[in-house]
Chain A
Amino acid sequence: MNLRKHILILDDDLDSIHFISKILENAGHSVHYATNATDFSQLLNEIGPHLILVDYKLNLGTLTGIHIIDRLKKDEFLRKIPIFLISASESKKLIATATAVGASDFVKKPIQTAIFLQKIKKALKIHELPELTLKEPLKVKCQSMADIIQISESSLKIKGPIKYSDDTVLNIDSPYLQNLGCHTCKYKTNDRNKVLDAGIYINEVEIKGIKEESAKNIRMIKTTTKQT
């Protein structure tokens, strides 16, 4: 995927932020930054970054970058985002602590641009397709074009780019079904959908509340088809 990656920086030093932003933007990334915890939390929720960079020495009272990483890694939804700790110190103790709380990598200041970009590239590649476990099934509304490829009095099959889950209620806007008098019917998917090809699915849809006149119209289609 070549989507622009969003990287969020938490640092209280604007010179450091400007430098990191510049080299990341030159590398094609979208950079956001915060110099305090409130702005950081807000941006975190607004952006949903692919990667976070946290400076160790923050002007946030007793809070250090380690505390921030520890908190983020304990969050069910944020813990999969890779986080780098940035520090001028590279003491073994600091690196061990950062690793223990879940930092993905460590960046030493002064920053060596080539090494830094390599680390960023590697982390983004590993986390390219993040897995998120949703607490509740996500309900979405979507619209797509599809072909009706088979119809009976009780069901129809539609071919399109979406594989629906069971019991999905569909609103089908079709002049063809309207001509058959099926515009008042309810349509609901069942579990008999299948993959036809990459990104093409055939979904079986049950027709509910069909009127006798409409059912007759459908039987007539069948008869006609058989005769030709």
Chain B
Amino acid sequence: MAEKRKVTIDADLQEIIPSFLDNRKKDIVKLDEFLPAKQYSQIESIAHKLAGNAGSYGFDDLGQIGANLEAACQSLNEAEIANLCLAYKEYLENLEIEYK
């Protein structure tokens, strides 16, 4: 079992974090559909929003995954896109939040 990834989030944002994470789960469902279909423009759109928002909420590493995924989509680096989609999924599965 993968090690938990602990992330400290501003307690002021606690109220809006569940909705943010629910939307990330919806992203994963969409990625599972877009990746085999090679719909990279759709994946890029998801990645762009992730890159912009995750860091704002305090999920800096997730934001970086989003930025890398967006860049991989722009360069059509299929192997990297697949790796980063997997990294996105694993990040969410192993996430443990602490509010401060």
Q: Would you call A16 and B12 a contact (CB within 8 A)?
A: no
Q: Would you call A16 and B16 a contact (CB within 8 A)?
A: no
Partner of B52, one of A14, A18, A26, A110: A110
How far is B69's CA from A132's CA once the two chains are assembled, in angstroms? 47
Question: Does chain B have a CB within 8 A of A109?
Answer: yes
Q: Would you call B53 and A13 a contact (CB within 8 A)?
A: yes
Which of chain B's residues has its CB closest to A108's CB?
A: B52
**Which of A22, A57, A110, A111 has its CB near the most chain B CB atoms (within 10 A)?**
A110
Within B53-72, the residues touching A (CB, 8 Å) are: 53-57, 60, 63
Q: Would you call B23 and A109 a contact (CB within 8 A)?
A: no
Question: Does chain A have a CB within 8 A of B48?
Answer: yes
Q: Would you call A15 and B15 a contact (CB within 8 A)?
A: no
Partner of B63, one of A18, A26, A110: A110
Within A1-46, the residues touching B (CB, 8 Å) are: 13-16, 18-19, 22-23, 26
Q: Would you call A110 and B12 a contact (CB within 8 A)?
A: no
Size of interface on B: residues with Cβ below 8 Å to A: 19
Q: Would you call B51 and A88 a contact (CB within 8 A)?
A: yes
How far is B86's CA from A143's CA once the two chains are assembled, in angstroms? 69
How far is B22's CA from A14's CA once the two chains are assembled, in angstroms? 12
Size of interface on A: residues with Cβ below 8 Å to B: 15
Residues of A close to B63: CB separation below 8 A: 110
Q: Would you call B53 and A22 a contact (CB within 8 A)?
A: no
Q: Would you call A110 and B16 a contact (CB within 8 A)?
A: no
Q: Would you call A19 and B55 a contact (CB within 8 A)?
A: no
Question: Does chain A have a CB within 8 A of B75?
Answer: no
Q: Would you call B56 and A16 a contact (CB within 8 A)?
A: yes
Q: Would you call A110 and B56 a contact (CB within 8 A)?
A: yes
Question: Does chain A have a CB within 8 A of B95?
Answer: no
Residues of B close to A109: CB separation below 8 A: 51-53, 55-56
* Distance to closest chain A CB from B45 (angstroms): 9
Can you show 5 pairs from A to B with CB atoms below 8 A apart?
A: A16-B52, A18-B16, A18-B20, A88-B48, A111-B55
New A-B pairs, 7, CB < 8 Å, besides A19-B16, A19-B53: A15-B20, A19-B13, A19-B20, A57-B48, A109-B55, A113-B10, A113-B56
